[in-house]
Chains A and B, each alone.
Chain A
Amino acid sequence: MKILVCISKAPDTTAKITFTENNTKFNENGVQFIVNPYDEWYALVRGLELKEANGGTVTVLNVGKADNDPVIRKALAIGADDAVRIDADTVDALYVAKQIANYAKSEGYDMVLCGKETIDYNGSQVAGMVAELMNAPYVSLASKLDVNGNTATIEREIEGGVEVVEVATPFVLSAAKGMAEARIPNMRGIMAARSKPLNVVAAIDASNSTVVKGFSLPPAKSGCKMIDADNVAELVNLLHNEAKVI
Chain B
Amino acid sequence: MSILIYADSNNGTLTKNAFEAANYGGQLAKSTGKNAVALVLGSASGLEELGNYGITKVLHFADAGLDSFDPQKISAVVAEAAKSEGADTIIFAHDYTGKSVAPRLSAKLDAGLVSGAIALPNGNTVKKAVFSGKAFAEIEITTATKIISVLPNALDKVVTGGSAEVVSFSCEIPSTGLKVKEVRKESTELSLTEADIVVSAGRGLKGPENWGMIEELAKVLGAATACSRPVADIGWRPHHEHVGQTGLAIRPNLYFAIGISGAIQHLAGVNGSKVIVVINTDAEAPFFKAADYGIVGDAFEVVPKLIEAIKSL
Q: Decide: B292 and A243 in contact? CB cutoff 8 A.
A: yes
> Which residues of the partner chain A approach B2 to less than 8 Å between Cβ atoms?
none
Tell whether A157 is near chain B: CB-to-CB under 8 Å: yes
> How far is the CB of B86 from the nearest CB of chain A, in Å?
20
> Which residues of the partner chain B approach A163 to less than 8 Å between Cβ atoms?
69, 180, 182-184
> Which residues of the partner chain A approach B295 to less than 8 Å between Cβ atoms?
226-229, 232, 235
CA gap between A93 and B254 in the complex, in Å = 33
Spell out A's residues near B (CB within 8 Å).
11, 13-14, 17, 19, 37-38, 92-94, 97, 119-133, 136-141, 153, 157-168, 171, 177-178, 208-218, 221, 224-229, 232-233, 235-236, 238-240, 243, 245-246
CA gap between A216 and B298 in the complex, in Å = 37
Q: Decide: A215 and B275 in contact? CB cutoff 8 A.
A: no
CA gap between A217 and B137 in the complex, in Å = 9
Spell out B's residues near A (CB within 8 Å).
10, 15, 69-72, 75, 94-96, 99-108, 110-116, 125, 128-143, 176-187, 189, 191, 193-194, 196-197, 221, 239-240, 242, 245-247, 253-254, 264-265, 268, 271, 274-275, 277-278, 288-298, 301-302, 305-306, 309-310, 313
Q: Decide: A212 and B104 in contact? CB cutoff 8 A.
A: no
CA gap between A94 and B113 in the complex, in Å = 8
Q: Decide: A224 and B288 in contact? CB cutoff 8 A.
A: yes
Q: Decide: B293 and A238 in contact? CB cutoff 8 A.
A: yes
> How far is the CB of B302 from the nearest CB of chain A, in Å?
6
Q: Decide: A233 and B309 in contact? CB cutoff 8 A.
A: yes
Q: A119-B245, A224-B292 are in contact. Are A213 and B136 (CB under 8 A)?
A: no
Q: Decide: A126 and B103 in contact? CB cutoff 8 A.
A: yes
Known: A129-B107, A229-B297. 16 other contacts (CB 8 A): A123-B116, A124-B103, A129-B106, A137-B72, A157-B96, A158-B69, A161-B185, A163-B182, A164-B181, A167-B179, A209-B106, A209-B111, A209-B113, A212-B138, A232-B306, A236-B313
Contact of B107 among A38, A97, A140 (CB under 8 A): A97
Q: Which of A141, A159, A213, A243: most chain B Cβ within 10 A?
A: A159
> Which residues of the partner chain A approach B135 to less than 8 Å between Cβ atoms?
17, 19, 215-218
CA gap between A67 and B11 in the complex, in Å = 49
